[in-house]
Amino acid sequence: MSEFAVGDEDFLLDGRPVRLLSGALHYFRVHEAQWGHRLGMLRAMGLNCVETYVPWNLHEPEPGRFRDVAALGRFLDAAREAGLWAIVRPGPYICAEWENGGLPYWLTAEAGARARTRDERYMERVSNWFGQLLPEIVPRQIDCGGPVIMVQVENEYGSYGSDAEYLHRLTGLMRKLGVTVPLFTSDGPEDHMLTGGSVPGVLATVNFGSHARVAFATLRRHRPQGPLMCMEFWCGWFDHWGGEHAVREAGDAAEALREILECGASVNLYMAHGGTSFAGWAGANRGGGALHDGPLEPDVTSYDYDAPIDEYGRPTAKFMAFREVLAEYAEGPLPEIPSPPAALGATAGVELTAWAPLDAVLEALGGPETSGPVPPTFEELGVERGLVRYAVTVPGPRQPYPLTVRGLRDLAVVYVDGERAGVLGEDEDCLKEPVAGYARVELWVESLGRVNYGPRLGEPKGITGGLLHERQFLHDVRARGLRLEALDDVGRVREVASRELPEEGVPGLYRGTVVVRGAGDARLELPGWTRGFVWVNGFALGRYWSAGPQRSLYVPGPVLREGGNEVWVLELEGTARRGSDEADAPVLRAV
């Protein structure tokens, strides 16, 4: 048992100054069977600590229903076994390019702008959640013989709000629930962020990608004493659909790391290993400058982050460059670099065998159909990740007029009298061809991930502003939601997707098998497919989209087995297939 403390100049372990060489690795973005390997990679890079967030929405899908909260405890145990200290950042908000910044969709639906403030109802939700979560952390603190040395309060709160009372209460709640190790906050190195995001008497840290000296000088204006730490050293960056792939050169990143260490500071590499936002959990940003109030920029499935340990767990040039820098600060020789996990033995094509149209999928796996005067939001239908089919009638007879979807979030594939009429989005919200009455209109709306940063955090999904024919609202809207999770049910999916393959590559749920020789790490390519989700043996790989820049999905080796494996693809727009003979079969390749 040891004591970890914040000294006047350094972190202190049993009174001895220590420097934290930490790296971010999110347990929820790495297959559990691979935690050990990845943690070993962190050690071999020269790190002595691992940092993870905790996504509230993953663990409390409905108010009061908790799901595998113990995963965090298992991960902390794995960190200890790997010989690493651990920093935990339990939010409640985490950002992290994660759906809704980690806040449950049902919470932001009820709290609106009261989320992340001292609001009583919101605080009650936080307190119930922390009541479940903290028992995973508290007995694993270093003063109980565990790896946990520090716990963060909120996340970059100064980039969002200024409710000092909220931060004060959160701090009190954590202490009350048994956190004895040092607490800290992290913020951008700007005066207003540090003013809004820090808590008197609690260690303040800063986040940045370069110019350590300038950043720490700013921090010193607010905190003349205490250890310096960069809690997020952005050594890479994330991608969004339709954007450029972000790359940060290894030498440049290593120089920036050296500058931090030369300041005598501690560091947490964000990310050391990014992993994957499996199962459609990727969030979204809004562009448009400092306000982050512009166009939606949904994050890709891969969270490779151009990190030193890539999405597949392999060391990159950045890894080697960082290792060289970190070795100078290590207490002894660095462990050898663990060999990479086995890769798939041979390329293998998926043979598609059966199918079901989206209507049949919705019928079998969707929620109940609702009807009412205005389109309900995803929140009202209880859909966190997934899609909603809205159906409305244009009364007739009447002239052809434009059909407009107001407040559309995010994409709608629209059918008029059963014919595809277009794909609409937030900016392009009106059908090209006017619609005459009488007509039946169907809109299949997909959420591309809830906003995880900025003032539009928590904004609802679906048709949020109504359906207009000419200037007239259309009422009598029927709606039915399909939660992505419904497709995790292997048996039900087999039952539903059992029709003969269609002639054309229409949207629907496709099922197939792939024969694997030499199970191991792989990536799945979907040539000719447009947009949707894939499962392998019931494990949800996440979203694919021809918009790029991501071109294939990571399939962790432990998901595959020798011989036959089941694959299903939920395609929402349609494939380039012209007939079943020329099917563009998805392909598994070695990483």
- Is the Cβ of residue 232 or residue 459 nearer to ligand GLA in the bound state? 232
Residue among 60, 136, 154, 156 flagged as catalytic: 156
Cα–Cα distance for residue pair 267/396, rounded to 1 Å:
66
Which of helix, strand or coil describes residue 195?
A: helix
Judge contact between 153 and 184, C-beta under 8 A: yes
Cα–Cα distance for residue pair 135/285, rounded to 1 Å:
32
Based on the residue annotation, tell me whether 459 is a catalytic residue of this protein.
no
Q: Does 95 bind ligand GLA (CB under 6 A)?
A: yes
- The one among 51, 156, 379, 571 contacting ligand GLA by CB under 6 A: 156
Binding mask 235-264 for ligand GLA (x = CB under 6 A): ---x--------------------------
Binding mask 551-580 for ligand GLA (x = CB under 6 A): ------------------------------
Q: Does 11 bind ligand GLA (CB under 6 A)?
A: no
- The one among 25, 47, 96, 411 contacting ligand GLA by CB under 6 A: 96
- The one among 10, 51, 97, 410 contacting ligand GLA by CB under 6 A: 97
From 89-97, 217-225, 395-403, 559-567, span contacting ligand GLA (CB under 6 A): 89-97
Q: Does 297 bind ligand GLA (CB under 6 A)?
A: no
From 90-98, 141-149, 349-357, 570-578, span contacting ligand GLA (CB under 6 A): 90-98
| CA 275 to centroid of chain Cα atoms | 10
Cα–Cα distance for residue pair 229/359, rounded to 1 Å:
53
CB of 159 to ligand GLA, least distance (A): 8
Q: Which of 185, 105, 88 is nearest to 146 (CA)?
A: 88
**Dihedral over Cα of 43, 44, 46, 52: its sign:** negative
Q: Does 232 bind ligand GLA (CB under 6 A)?
A: yes
DSSP state at residue 564: E
Count of residues interacting with ligand GLA (CB under 6 A): 9
- Is the Cβ of residue 4 or residue 238 nearer to ligand GLA in the bound state? 238
Q: Does 155 bind ligand GLA (CB under 6 A)?
A: yes
Cα–Cα distance for residue pair 572/507, rounded to 1 Å:
5
- The one among 207, 277, 301, 552 contacting ligand GLA by CB under 6 A: 207
Closest-CB residue for ligand GLA? 95
Residue among 60, 99, 136, 232 flagged as catalytic: 232
Give the 3-state secondary structure percentages of the chain, helix then strand then coil, rounded to 5. 30, 35, 40
Judge contact between 457 and 290, C-beta under 8 A: no
In the sheet that 552-555 helps form, which strands lie side by side, from edge to edge? 348-349, 587-590, 522-525, 552-555
Q: Strand pairing partners for 42?
A: none
Q: Strand pairing partners for 446?
A: 387, 411
Q: How many CA atoms lie within 13 A of 508 on its CB side?
A: 21
Cα–Cα distance for residue pair 40/84, rounded to 1 Å:
9
CB of 578 to ligand GLA, least distance (A): 41
CB of 305 to ligand GLA, least distance (A): 7
From 92-100, 121-129, 244-252, 289-297, span contacting ligand GLA (CB under 6 A): 92-100
- Is the Cβ of residue 80 or residue 240 nearer to ligand GLA in the bound state? 240
CB of 170 to ligand GLA, least distance (A): 16
DSSP 94-110: --TTBGGGG--HHHHHH
Cα–Cα distance for residue pair 389/590, rounded to 1 Å:
37
Based on the residue annotation, tell me whether 156 is a catalytic residue of this protein.
yes
Under the rule (CB under 6 A), what is the footprint of ligand GLA? 94-97, 155-156, 207, 232, 238
Q: Which residues form the catalytic set?
A: 156, 232
